[in-house]
Amino acid sequence: MAESVEPDGVAVADPDYRAAVVDLLGVIAYGEISAFERLAEDAKLAPTLEDKVALATMAATELGKVAGLHERLAALGADPFEAMAPFRVAVDDFHRHTAPSDWLEGLVKAFVGDGLANDFYREIAAFLDPETRDLVLSSLDDGDQAAFVVDRVRAAIREQPVQGGRLALWGRRLMGEALTQGQRVAADRDSLTALLTGTVDRPGLDLAALGRMFTRLTEHHQQRMADLGLDA
């Protein structure tokens, strides 16, 4: 569980905190738009009409989350599209480097790759004001997506066990690429790093707590791989 620091009631009046919230909502919003585009594209690879509809529905759900994030950004006095713009290159590069070659790789990416990013955002959410925290957590809810992906991937491995090794390697690659993307975003946006590590006026995580956070991220990734029947 994330180690939270509850911001005070006037947190959003702090310009540094506000900048961090705008960045966080911006990257999540653009991530949701990218997820919509990717899932809609992956639906073309679906082996059955049922699977195609399921993935298209998942895509629509991701797009539906953007409106709430944009509304919160506007309430903070930020332009939603300007808030998303700094993250386009990093997010687009991640998806370009991890373009799935088939239906199963697309499913694993939706479950493992997106899951790792969402775990990181949940960690950051512990340092947000209650209203923003609740919005962020609701936007990261995958609903029935996890059960659908696990069912399809496990069924494919039962039918063709050789798929397990290939998809396990793919899952490891996704984690490496996701960590690289996260480091790039953190390096470019000091405000997000400050949310975790703290400032003079706002406490954050010390080195030991940061270590525990990364341990949790790794454990969650390993659990997702296990859920799929894959070795991490």
Contact criterion met (CB below 8 Å) for 124 and 7: no
Predicted pLDDT of residue 26: 95
Burial classification of residue 12, based on how many CB atoms lie within 10 Å of its CB (0-12 exposed, 13-18 middle, 19 or more buried): middle
So what's the pLDDT on residue 9?
Answer: 45
Please give the Cα distance from 148 to 64 (Å, whole number).
19
Calculated CA dihedral for residues 113, 117, 119, 122, nearest 10 degrees: -150
Sequence-distant (≥ 6) Cβ neighbours of residue 197 within 8 angstroms: 204, 205, 210
Residue in this structure with the two tokens 């409106």, named with its chain if needed = 67
Contacts for 31 with CB less than 8 Å, ≥ 6 apart: 87, 91, 114, 117
Query: Is 12-227 CATH 1.20.1260.10?
Result: yes
Q: Give domain limits for the chain.
A: 12-227
Distance CA 183, CA 180 (A): 5
Write the DSSP assignment of 173-189 as a string of letters. Answer: HHHHHHHHHHHHHHHH-
- The whole-angstrom distance between residue 181's C-alpha and the CA centroid of its chain comes to 11
Q: How far apart are CA 210 and CA 45, in angstroms?
A: 39
49 close to 152: Cβ distance less than 8 angstroms: no
Classify residue 180 by burial, with Cβ atoms within 10 Å: 0-12, 13-18, 19+.
middle
pLDDT in tens, the chain (232 residues): 454 444 444 456 778 888 889 999 999 999 999 999 999 999 988 999 999 999 999 999 999 999 999 999 999 999 999 999 999 988 998 889 899 999 999 999 999 988 888 888 888 888 888 999 999 999 988 767 788 999 999 999 999 999 999 999 999 999 888 888 777 776 677 777 777 766 546 666 666 777 788 888 889 999 999 999 998 7
- Distance CA(122)–CA(20), nearest Å, equals 14
| The pLDDT value given to residue 40 | 92
What was the pLDDT predicted at 118?
A: 87
Q: What is the pLDDT of residue 199?
A: 58
Q: Which of 22, 14, 64, 21 is nearest to 39 (CA)?
A: 64
- pLDDT computed for residue 11 by the predictor: 55
Structure tokens at 200: 């003079």
